[in-house]
Amino acid sequence: MSLSGREPHVPVDRLVAEMVPPPRFDSVRFDNYLPDPKQPSQSEAVGTLRAFAEGLGAPDDAGRRRWFRRQAAPAAPAGPGGVYLDGGYGVGKTHLLASLWHATPAPPEQKAFGTFVELTNLVGALGFQQAVQALSGHRLVCIDEFELDDPGDTVLVSTLLGRLAGAGVRLAATSNTLPGRLGEGRFAAADFMREIQGLSARFRSLRIDGEDYRHRGLPEAPAPYADEEVTAAAGRTPGASLDDFGALLAHLARVHPSRYGALCDGVEAVFLRGVRPVEDQATALRLVVLADRLYDREVPVMTSGEPFDRIFGEEMLTGGYRKKYFRAISRLTALARDAGRPAAPDGS
């Protein structure tokens, strides 16, 4: 199959129903999070999040709220009604956020989990008021990869979270800091609290120190293969997609990012020929979203052309969207490792 030959159509109700931890995080729990013994903040975060989940056990009046019923909003929760996980790439923030979702004693339809981009897409699909109604009966809303680089989207989501918090919904969020920048994690926490303005008093910031576990003690990302190797490997891999990188980028421009998940439905492995540096910001940002959806689904990626650490130029890696690009490089590198070396035609 070819990703660039697909035209997915996603009904609105699917966008709501799919606000659960992605397949990669189906089985994560606090018990199988492995704290780095050199980073005590990781163990401390686990304990704090366990207690936060336990505090969400009482359903209070969540079951009595309905989308279209007018009634007085419940009182705001006592103490911090939200937690913010502050730390760099690959320290396990998403693992912990998904563990919190799983540990919260409420049925799945009363919990929501999605990335910042998925939440903005939901608002775009439903409209603001209907999105508030759809989520205000939840016990918990988790937002992964909260993004502060688009003022309009930040205000939109901050306003949405304010309405949800006023309805008694507990909140949890993560965002990334750049690797190798001393102290920037603290600045990221301050940025987050400033951007959510009136909500900041509802959040407790949890610092999670450590290095990117995807690179901890692992070899460098595998070098790209030859075009012929990629084509041959795709031909003998069940559920594989095979695309030329340029054609895929052009196709992504015609598909709304909210449908990139559906674009990957049924794909077991992605094979790309002719990976090259991305030249413009809009294309690069679309590639970031696709990388997130592939990573969520644990889809290995085998490529020819340039290695993933060269697809975003220096100007992009030092610009306003640099956090997204570093995240994409980290995730695509992990998926390239997952692909490994393709088997020979004889199976060896």
Say whether both 267 and 142 belong to one domain: no
Say whether both 193 and 84 belong to one domain: yes
Confidence at residue 91, expressed as pLDDT on a 0 to 100 scale: 83
If one counts the domains in the chain, the total is: 2
Confidence at residue 256, expressed as pLDDT on a 0 to 100 scale: 83
Give the orientation angle of helix 128-135 with respect to helix 151-166, to 10 degrees.
Answer: 40
C-alpha dist (Å) from residue 140 to 124, 169, 172: 21, 6, 8
Confidence at residue 21, expressed as pLDDT on a 0 to 100 scale: 93
Residue 330, judged by CB atoms within 10 A of its CB (0-12, 13-18, 19+), counts as buried
Closest by alpha carbon to 23, among 235, 266, 249?
A: 266
CB of 141 closer than 8 Å to CB of 135: yes
User: Pick from 180, 208, 236: which residue ends a domain?
Assistant: 208
Phi and psi at residue 302, to the nearest 5°: -115, 135
Residue 273, judged by CB atoms within 10 A of its CB (0-12, 13-18, 19+), counts as buried
Calpha distance 267→259 (Å, rounded): 14
| pLDDT tens, the chain, 348 aa long | 899 999 888 777 777 888 999 888 999 999 999 888 899 999 999 999 999 999 887 554 444 343 334 333 333 343 468 998 888 777 889 999 999 999 999 999 899 999 888 898 889 878 899 999 999 989 999 999 887 666 778 788 888 998 999 999 999 998 765 444 434 555 566 767 776 666 677 788 888 888 766 555 544 667 899 999 999 999 999 999 999 999 999 999 999 887 888 899 999 999 999 999 998 999 999 999 999 999 988 999 999 999 998 999 988 988 878 878 888 998 898 899 888 754 444 454
Say whether both 197 and 246 belong to one domain: no
Does residue 334 lie in a domain region? Answer: yes
Say whether both 335 and 192 belong to one domain: no
Domain range for 105 is 33-208
User: Pick from 181, 208, 235: which residue ends a domain?
Assistant: 208
Q: Is-above-0.75 flag for pTM?
A: no
User: Pick from 149, 173, 208: which residue ends a domain?
Assistant: 208
Does residue 108 lie in a domain region? Answer: yes
Say whether both 171 and 232 belong to one domain: no
Does residue 16 lie in a domain region? Answer: no
Within 13 Å and on the Cβ side, how many CA atoms surround 71? Answer: 14
C-alpha dist (Å) from residue 307 to 178, 222, 236, 342: 20, 8, 23, 17
Confidence at residue 142, expressed as pLDDT on a 0 to 100 scale: 96
Closest by alpha carbon to 334, among 296, 295, 277, 288?
A: 295
77-99 burial: b if 16+ Cβ within 10 Å, else e: beeebbbbbbbbbbbbbbbbbbb
Does residue 17 lie in a domain region? Answer: no
Does residue 139 lie in a domain region? Answer: yes
